[in-house]
Structures are given as C-alpha cells and as structure tokens.
Amino acid sequence: MGHYEAPIREPIITGDKSYHDITLDVAAPIEGKANKSWYIAFTIALIAFLWGIGSIAYTIGTGIGVWGLNNRINWAWDITNFVWWVGIGHAGTLISAVLLLFRQKWRMGINRSAEAMTIFAVFQAGLFPLIHMGRIWNGFYTLPVPNPLGSLWVNFNSPLLWDVFAISTYLSVSLVFWWTGLLPDFAMIRDRATKPFQKKIYSLVSFGWSGKAKDWQRFEEVSLVLAGLATPLVLSVHTIVSFDFATSVIPGWHSTVYPPYFVAGAVFSGFAMVQTLLLIMRKVSNLEDYITRVHVENMNKVILVTGGIVTVAYLSELFVGWYTGSSYEDFVYLSVGAATGPYWWAFWSLIICNSIIPQLFWFKKIRRNYIWTFIIAIFINIGMWFERFDIIVINLSRGHLPSSWTQFSPTFVDIGIFVGTIGFFFVLFLLYARTFPVIAQAEVKSILKSSGNNFKRERDNPSTVKTEVKKEPIIIKEEIVKEEKIVEKPIVDVDDKQAKTNSLLESLGTFDASKDTADNLKKISGIGPVMEKTLNQIGIYTFAQVSKMTNKEYDLLDSITGSFPGRAQRDDWAGQANKLKS
C-alpha cells in the first residue's frame, strides 16, 4: 500500500506522532481531570441554561404573549434563533459527508467535533418550533398520527410540515452517522479504562466494537453510503427552511433565490461556529498537532466562498428591489429603505459582518492566523444572526397599511430563551469535550503515514530515516491448563540478579500491595504481557515506579532481564509512564 502524498501538501498531523501518541493525546482529556477554567465555563453555561429553562417555563405557563410580538411583527426572535441554530448545524454534516466524498483528509481532525456541534445546534433549533406553538401539549398535531379530531391529518402541502420531516430526518441521520464513527474510538477508551465505572460506560457505548477486518470493511462502506445520503440531505434541510419564507406572499420573502442563498449562508455560519469552538478547543485540550493552520486555512477558504455566495445574493436582492421601481420593494430587508430606515443599524450590521469583514480572508496571513480567524468568526456568527433578524423583523415591520408600521422590542423572556439556548449548547459541548473522543482517532491514524509530518519528512528526505533495530519476537505458549509458558532465554546468575534488583528498587521505590494498587503496565508502548510479568517479578508494579527510570535504571533492568537491550530507552517508558500516571 502506498502512503504517498505530494510533498507540496502540508502535513496535517504535526508533532512527530506515532499511532500510540494519537491514542494518548485523544484519551488525555477524558482520563485527566478538568481544570479550573472548564468548571468556570461550565458554571456560566449552566446558569444561562437555567435562565433559559425559567423563561421557557414562563412562556409555556403564561402564553407567548410574554414575548415582544405584536400585531404586525408576529414572528421575531423565535424564528430568528431557530434559523440561526439550524444554519449552524450545517457545517458538521457538510464536513463529514461532503468532504468525505471529495476525499479531503483534513476533515479527519475536525469532523467529530463539527458533527457534535451540529447535533447540539439542531437540539437548540428544535426547541423553538416546539415552544412557539404556544400550547406545546398539542405538539403531536404536527405529526401524521390519528388524533382526537377524527384523524384530521396534517397538511403535506405546507413547508412548515416539510420542515418537521427534514429536521427530524437530519437530526436522526446525523446522530447515527456520528455514533457509528464513534464506536472504534469509544472502544479505544474502553480498552484503556482502568476504573471499573469508566470501563462499564465505555463498554456500553462502544457496542462491543472489536475492530475485526470484516467490521472495518462494513464500517467504511456504511460511512461512504451515509455520506452519499447526507450530502443531498444537508442541502435539502436549509432549502426547506427557506421554503418557510419563499413560499409565502410577503414581499421580500417570496424570492426564488432563497434556497441556494440559505444553504450557502448556513454553511457560512456553520463553519464560523466550528472555528469559534475548535480554536478554543485545540488550546484547552492540547490538540494543536491535530487541528493545525492547514485546517483553519481550509475552513477559512470555505467561509470565503460561501460568504461570497451570500454577498452576491444580497446584491441581487438589492438590485432587483431597486430595479423593479415598486414602492413595496423598498420595505424589504435588503433595500435602500431598509438601509436608511429605522432598522438601519440591523441592516448595516448584516452587511459589515457578513460581506465586508470576511473579505479579510483574501490575505493569506490573516486566514492562517488563529487570533484573526477567531475574531472574524465571531463577527460572522453575529452577522448571520442579524441576517435572519433582518429577513424576519425588517420585512414584517412595514406593510401595505402604513398605520400598522411598527418596530419590535424583545422582552426579557425573548432574551432569556435565546441566552438559554446558547447556555444549553455550551453545557452539551463542554460535557462532550470531557467525555467523548473529540478527534476521530481511528481515522486520523489511517492517514498518519500519508500526512503526518514525520512520515512526510522521512519520505521526502530518505537520508533522515533512522534504521530500525530488528526486534526479536516474543513467543508465548499457552498450555491446556492455560498456564503461560514462556519460551525465552533463561536468566543467569541468581545472586547477581538479586543484588541488581535491590539496587533498582532502591531508586524506584518499592511497591506495597496493602497501600498501592498495581497499574496496567501494558499500557506503556513496548511493554507486553511477558515484560509486565518480568517487571512484576522484580517488584515494579506502578507507573510511578516506571516514571522514575533513568538510563542507569534502564541498564540495570536490561542486565536483569537479559532481553531487549535498549528497548526501554527507545520507547521512553519513563516519559510514557509519567503521562499515564496523572
């Protein structure tokens, strides 16, 4: 199998990783303890979420009169937030599906978190149609089920019902796609877990994945077919969301440009949210080697393209509005009337955040810069919220009857629900970051040899390749009584060995079975079951002991065991044990 990749392509895994390093890096946030900033962020998110729950409870208990809606503006923040969240939920499946079909290797580092973000964002989106029904207990009327009204069915001609089908299909298919990809990674965590509770949980969620050849073959086929299904699905979802507006008779909404324009806008905002989350995550979870400048730059290029599509759509709406000469077209959200009217601030926020600021990404220096990317991504998040606000509120604020012209002002409940969904989103994402493998490690391992920086370097300059020492295989025979018989060189000179053992334990510390618990030393790369047994015979049971080893102890160990001279140095047991210890 060739792992060739053109030298001109930048490595997308840096830091000279081996397969085992990837395992350690992905497992570290799950096995380690959360730091203070995680708890602070989680507390803030939880408070926002609770505030949101309170606002939702107040809305359901009292009625949607507690929102700032009025006769003219009868749809406002609820649908703005709904479309905003659905739009954010577009990047994940785009990354995992479309980029899979195009065989883009850089998707591997980010697809897991992007999909998680998608699912959590769609949760938030789904809340809004439910609560804006007002009487949520009648929610089952949106489903085609026999009901108390003599089975009066739902109206399948209505885009609002298409939305119900599109979003639930999207959510469930994304969830299944995500979970199937998670199985091998959960299995990896399961096989490393030392605490019984952890082991139980990860055994449960990994569905007994064992990594058999046939399972992998099916896994890859399923991923490919799901990608093929999810690609038109993701495009259909926002198309159908745009139909909510495009099939209506409100000026500014009944526009044939809406479906492609909404889809591009959704991808645009989704990628901006991925950038916002991953730029923080790569720092906090020490994933700088997996989410690199290449990833950031590629996502910025997608943002530039989709931002361009959105801008062209704005310009065409603006032009057509002006060119028709119709006075009603001057009421719509993209018109001279909107730019100079009472909602001028919302209009210009949209234009500046979505069309002007992202143009900075034309400069290579800026689109490869983490700080700039983060700032611009925040602007896009805000701009895309204003796009939906403009479409909905500016359009509704003016109508054919000037006496009803009005403006919208949100109540504390509107604000509370919106802030609450942001809190809920971050509660889910922060929990995810501590309990899920946030990088698709199995897939990253499969591209390591083609795109890892050490492998690329060695392939491009064959002179740097280190000559591998041929290792002797260990042979273990299990007899019928299931005793492990070790076929190996006999150990010489018992007295000498005892003396060396004592001096070795002196420097490493002894193991007291009544106080300490033995670690699974096999987790250290280079220690197999035989070596573990040997170490245990000497009296080495814990990572703490191994982590104290220096060259002197390695030499002693080699002379006691008499096997694999130099192996421990090469694999850096002490360094590995140090990481595992914590």
Partner 1 sequence: MSSKVIHALYDDDDVLLNAVKEVRAAHHHIDEVYTPFPVHGLDKAMGIPPTRLAIMAFIFGVMGLAFSIWFLNNIMIVDWPQNIGGKPSFSFLENMPAFVPVMFEMTVFFSAHLMVITFYMRSKIWPFQTADNPDPRTTDDKFLMEVAVDGNEDAIIALLEKTGAEEISVKEKH
Q: Which of residues 168-207 bind partner 1 (CB under 8 A)?
A: 169, 172-173, 176-177, 180, 183-184, 187-188, 190-192, 203-207
> What is the DSSP secondary-structure string of 378-442?
HHHHHHHHHHHHIIIIIHHHS-S-GGG-------HHHHHHHHHHHHHHHHHHHHHHHHS-SS-HH
Q: Which stretch binds partner 1 (CB under 8 A): 76-84, 151-159, 452-460, 511-519?
A: 151-159
- Interaction of residue 477 with partner 1, rule CB under 8 A: yes
- CB-nearer residue toward partner 1: 50 or 154: 154
- Interaction of residue 575 with partner 1, rule CB under 8 A: no
Query: E strand or H helix at 373, and its extent?
Result: helix 370-389
Which residues are 13's β-sheet partners? 452
Binding mask 508-527 for partner 1 (x = CB under 8 A): --------------x--x--
What minimum distance in Å lies between the beta carbon of 176 and partner 1?
A: 5
* Token pair belonging to 504: 């070795």
- Interaction of residue 349 with partner 1, rule CB under 8 A: no
What is each CA distance from 549 to 90, 199, 449, 546, in whole angstroms? 50, 29, 31, 6
State the SS3 of 230-299: HHHHHHHHHHHHHHHHHCCCCCCCCCCCHHHHHHHHHHHHHHHHHHHHHHHHHHHCCCCCCCCHHHHHHH
What minimum distance in Å lies between the beta carbon of 326 and partner 1?
A: 24
- CB-nearer residue toward partner 1: 21 or 330: 21
Residues 5-34 that bind partner 1 (CB under 8 A): 18-20, 23
- CB-nearer residue toward partner 1: 27 or 540: 27
- Interaction of residue 155 with partner 1, rule CB under 8 A: yes
Rounded to the nearest 5°, which phi and psi values hold at 484?
A: -80, 115
Q: Round to the nearest angstrom and report the end-to-end CA distance of the chain.
A: 38
Q: Which stretch binds partner 1 (CB under 8 A): 119-127, 216-224, 397-405, 544-552?
A: 216-224
What minimum distance in Å lies between the beta carbon of 477 and partner 1?
A: 4
- Interaction of residue 553 with partner 1, rule CB under 8 A: no
Three-state secondary structure call for residue 485:
strand
Residues 321-340 that bind partner 1 (CB under 8 A): none
What minimum distance in Å lies between the beta carbon of 485 and partner 1?
A: 9
- Interaction of residue 406 with partner 1, rule CB under 8 A: no
How many Å apart are CA 246 and CA 264, to the nearest integer? 16
Q: Would you tell me the crossing angle of helices 159-192 and 19-31 to the nearest 10 degrees?
A: 110
How many Å apart are CA 307 and CA 301, to the nearest integer? 10
What minimum distance in Å lies between the beta carbon of 175 and partner 1?
A: 10
- With CB under 8 A as the contact rule, the residue among 305, 419, 474, 505 that binds partner 1 is 474
Question: How many C-alpha atoms does 565 have within 13 Å on its Cβ side?
Answer: 4
Binding mask 228-267 for partner 1 (x = CB under 8 A): -xx-xx--x---x--x------------------------
How many Å apart are CA 191 and CA 202, to the nearest integer? 9
Q: How many residues bind partner 1 (CB under 8 A)?
A: 81
- Interaction of residue 212 with partner 1, rule CB under 8 A: yes
How many Å apart are CA 469 and CA 309, to the nearest integer? 56
- CB-nearer residue toward partner 1: 199 or 293: 199
